Chains A and B, each alone.
Chain A
Amino acid sequence: MALFGRTDLPIQKNAASRFIQWLVMVLVFMAAIAATVNAYTGSLLAHWNRSVTGTLTVQVPAPMEKPGKPNDVPKDVAAVLGVLKIHPDVLRVEAVPRAKVVALLEPWLGSGEAVSDLPLPALVDVALKPGTDTRGVTDAIMKAAPTALVDDHRVWLNRVGNLAEGVGMIALALMGIIAAALGLTVIFATRASLAEFRDVIEVLHLVGARDDDIAGQFARRALGQATAGGLLGLALYAPTLGVIALLARRVDTSVLPNVGLPIAHWALLASLPIVAGVLAMGAAHVTVRRALRTMV
């Protein structure tokens, strides 16, 4: 018989320790969901950060007089384009066609005569060379067209960043609560087992068992139960993630872009059963050691 896993206590059939397995399953499932929400928010932020960093959107207000032919380029816009095309920091510059601006507004204003008659601002998309500061380009634009609005998306991105941070913190707090719940459950289940096996433990002591030997038996049991529960939790998580991904795919990709989750996230998920096991093992060991001090 291998020393590891040998047990003199009838804890294999014990209800309290089996309960740990089911509880850890639920806890790991919840932790996995929380971690995924956290990782997805982070990836989303990184995705948006990547796609808007180094880009500017210039809004040139429409002249107050009625627009001429749709393809006429207003004076200010022409000035902005002229400056940007020769600016050393600019990688690419492109005036957004009026049809596209109208299309962007369609969800809010509808289509048709009313919109095409509106004095719409002209939009210019600017891509900067990597690593350049937006300030120089912004100054150049403002000089060419003082009424232009330059948006480097920072304000928007900061707000999204704050949201992501908040979600991340909630997820982290949730995982902390889950870990605490796991620890407490193991402590109480272990105490219940200790009370149940008091006589057996006393005999083990009397034939020479050390506290560590006995605590080790409880700890190994908790490790096994919690790891098994953790694996069940992940088994439950996998199809849930599948369903969520399926539902998310039906949502517009501009709202929920299909970003990949980092390897670290999957590594974290894979480690959850181990983390739960080690946590349960530690909690059981400490609980038993403390309780045994008052015994024979």
Chain B
Amino acid sequence: MAFNRKKNKPFEGDTVALDTVDLSYDGATPVLSAVNLALPQSSFHFLTGASGAGKSSLLSLLYLAKRPTAGSLKLFGEDVTGASRNKLAGLRRRLGVVFQDYRLLDHLSAFDNVALPLRIARVPEAVVTQDVTELLKWVGLAEQMDAHPPTLSGGQKQRVAIARAVVNRPKLILADEPTGNVDDTIAVRLMALFVELHKLGSSVVVATHNESLVSRFPFPRLHLDGGRLTLLPPLKPAASILGEG
């Protein structure tokens, strides 16, 4: 497990490897400083920290919306510095992102929103229909497939956003407050989905400041404070989930 490895040093084959990464939006005030991070394949981490600590900034580095101001960032073993735009697009297809503000396309139905990553990756339409339908049923939106985002509640939108993030069975899942707008029962159900994908081999990072959620799962925490990242042990001892599994 990542948190057992010394100093969290990057390792060949890691899904994510950040080496002394700085990020600054204006060139002066650092948002992230000297961040080292290695996420092995099939890992699960919470990302915690107060608002403004840099959680969303770190995630935006990982989903390639931002480039590091200094340091190196490797995704699936590929250095993203100087990578072509097509290369970046290819890397993005291997990750799934749940945005805090969902970022659904209002002119598309819930079904088409979820289908988007598959269609962009040119997955045959028969497969798209089957996978999307199944997933939307699973997140409890069977009735809302043809609804457009503006007519959905916050929680429903969040579930569409999660479905879109995982429909492509990504190798890396980044979720920014994915359970912020749903009640606890649904939150646990959605977390179970992430855990399931994690068990199937995806690396998962869930940013949240919901302590009760964090305390229910035996996953290590990446904690951000003033732009510095520290690795903390799980709030829940690992033994109890081993008992479950």
List A residues at the B interface (Cβ < 8 Å). 1, 3, 6, 8, 10, 199-200, 202-213, 292-293, 296
Contacts and interface: CB of A to CB of B under 8 A. Distances in A.
Contacts of A206: 63, 65, 92, 97, 103
Interface stretch (B113-121, B139-147, B236-244): B113-121
Contact of B120 (A10, A199, A202, A208): A208
A200, A209, A212: residue with the most chain B Cβ atoms closer than 10 Å:
A209
Contact of A210 (B86, B97, B168): B86
25 contacts: A3-B122, A8-B116, A8-B120, A202-B103, A203-B104, A203-B116, A204-B120, A206-B63, A206-B92, A206-B97, A207-B97, A207-B116, A207-B117, A208-B89, A208-B90, A208-B92, A208-B93, A208-B117, A208-B120, A208-B121, A210-B86, A211-B89, A212-B86, A293-B85, A296-B64
Interface in B44-67: 63-65
Contacts of A211: 85-86, 89
Contacts of B92: 205-208
Interface string B81-97: 00001100110110001
Given A208-B93, A211-B85, A211-B86, A203 B103 contact: yes
Q: Give the size category of B's interface with A.
A: 20 to 34
B89 A1 contact: no
Contacts of A292: 85
Closest 8 CB pairs of A and B: A208-B93, A10-B107, A208-B92, A210-B89, A207-B117, A209-B120, A296-B65, A203-B103
Nearest to B65: A296
B105 interface: yes
Contacts of B65: 206, 296
A213 B120 contact: yes
Given A6-B119, A210-B85, 20 more contacts: A1-B119, A3-B122, A8-B105, A8-B108, A8-B119, A8-B120, A200-B107, A202-B103, A203-B103, A204-B116, A206-B97, A207-B92, A207-B116, A207-B120, A207-B164, A208-B168, A210-B86, A211-B85, A212-B86, A292-B85
A212 B86 CA distance: 9
Given A8-B116, A10-B107, A208-B90, A1 B125 contact: yes
Interface in B167-181: 168
A209 B104 CA distance: 15
Nearest to A208: B93
Nearest to A200: B105
Nearest to A6: B119
B84 to A, nearest CB: 10
A3 B119 CA distance: 8
Contacts of A296: 64-65
Nearest to B66: A296
Nearest to B90: A208
Contacts of B164: 207
